[in-house]
Amino acid sequence: MQAQALTIELDSPDDWPGFRAACRALLAHGADPALVRWRWPDTQGAQPLGAGVDLFSSAPQQAMPASALAGLAGPGEAGLSLSDTQMSALRHACMHRAAGRFELCHRWLARMQARPELRLDALDADWRAIEALARPVSREIHKMHAFVRFRTTQRQNQPDLHIAWFEPEHHIVRAAAHFFCKRFANMHWAILTPQCSAHWDGHALRLTPGARRSDAPPADAGEALWLTYYASTFNPARLKEQAMLREMPRRYWHNLPETVLISTLVQQARARTAQMLAP
């Protein structure tokens, strides 16, 4: 009898804990990665199966929540040993927007389970594909940490709310938000993105559905002060345009208030440098 395909329903497009728990069970029971598909609740009408469904039932299955598999394998039951670097690459690869990212990671893990020496093969095609997904995700998390700009809104009988708008290319909001929880622990803030939004009330992080750019507040007095500071600290003698573009890609410019000054500052840099060097 032909084996049944199995679809695993994750909680979100970046559900690393769910993927990891489901993978552990699938690997422990020898499920064929070619027969496993992964999805998440971003389509209308998806009806995942309940937690009581039998993984090995011969009945046709639409989808199974990853949580239903969590108890089917104990820690280490799949017999895998991964380095911290490999775990980080897998986690970041699962945040990429590529549709087949979970299938790729599951396939590599199954292959490595069958051939443990693959964990040392840096040139393996699947592993190189995982690294190729992980690199831009890691970079974008760093860019989000650097390029989020908050604007302050006042609320009656509540602390001020600091709101930022950001447009990530990959599913990084949850992973990147913990940085802001630590750095701005005493503030109430919200980071709005088209994918999902992160909210911090000084105690707990909460994720909500995506927002629109118009939901973020307009420029405020604090932003004008920041522009004045940015212009006054701009050093024309140290300007390196190519390095600046590598660190601040143009696709982020439309959400950064200081970029309205960059063209003018760059144009004036050579003249200012010559003036500074003049005897």
What total of structural domains would you count in the chain? Answer: 3
The Cβ of residue 103 has, within 10 Å, a number of other Cβ atoms equal to 15
- If asked whether residues 130 and 205 sit together in one domain, one would say no
Task: Please report, in tens digits, the pLDDT of each residue of the chain (279 residues total).
Answer: 456 788 999 999 999 999 999 999 999 888 999 999 999 986 333 333 333 334 444 444 557 888 777 666 555 445 678 899 999 999 999 999 999 999 999 999 999 999 999 989 999 999 999 999 999 999 999 999 988 989 888 888 999 999 999 999 999 999 999 999 999 999 999 999 999 999 999 999 999 999 999 998 876 656 666 556 556 666 665 656 666 566 667 776 677 666 665 666 666 666 666 666 666
- If asked whether residues 18 and 95 sit together in one domain, one would say yes
Distance CA 80, CA 116 (A): 8
- If asked whether residues 232 and 120 sit together in one domain, one would say no
- If asked whether residues 15 and 65 sit together in one domain, one would say yes
- If asked whether residues 195 and 263 sit together in one domain, one would say no
- If asked whether residues 165 and 85 sit together in one domain, one would say no
* φ, ψ dihedrals at 209, nearest 5°: -60, 170
- If asked whether residues 123 and 162 sit together in one domain, one would say no
- If asked whether residues 122 and 244 sit together in one domain, one would say no
Q: Is residue 52 part of a domain?
A: no
Q: Is residue 120 part of a domain?
A: yes
Q: Is residue 69 part of a domain?
A: yes
Which residue, of 215, 235, 258, is where some domain finishes?
A: 215
Q: Is residue 242 part of a domain?
A: yes
pLDDT of residue 63: 75
Distance CA 13, CA 211 (A): 17
- If asked whether residues 32 and 130 sit together in one domain, one would say yes
- Which two structure tokens, joined as six digits, stand for 220? 């405020």
Q: Is residue 16 part of a domain?
A: yes
Let me know how long the chain is.
279
pLDDT of residue 244: 59
Task: Return the amino acid letter for 169.
Answer: E
Q: Is residue 39 part of a domain?
A: yes
- If asked whether residues 95 and 35 sit together in one domain, one would say yes
Q: Is residue 62 part of a domain?
A: yes
Which residue, of 166, 192, 215, is where some domain finishes?
A: 215
Task: Return the amino acid letter for 163.
Answer: I
Which residue, of 166, 191, 215, is where some domain finishes?
A: 215
Pair 35, 8: CB distance under 8 Å = no
- If asked whether residues 111 and 189 sit together in one domain, one would say no
Distance CA 168, CA 173 (A): 8
- If asked whether residues 77 and 201 sit together in one domain, one would say no
Q: Is residue 249 part of a domain?
A: yes
Q: Which domain holds residue 20?
A: 6-44+57-140
Pair 160, 153: CB distance under 8 Å = yes
- Which two structure tokens, joined as six digits, stand for 202? 């000084």
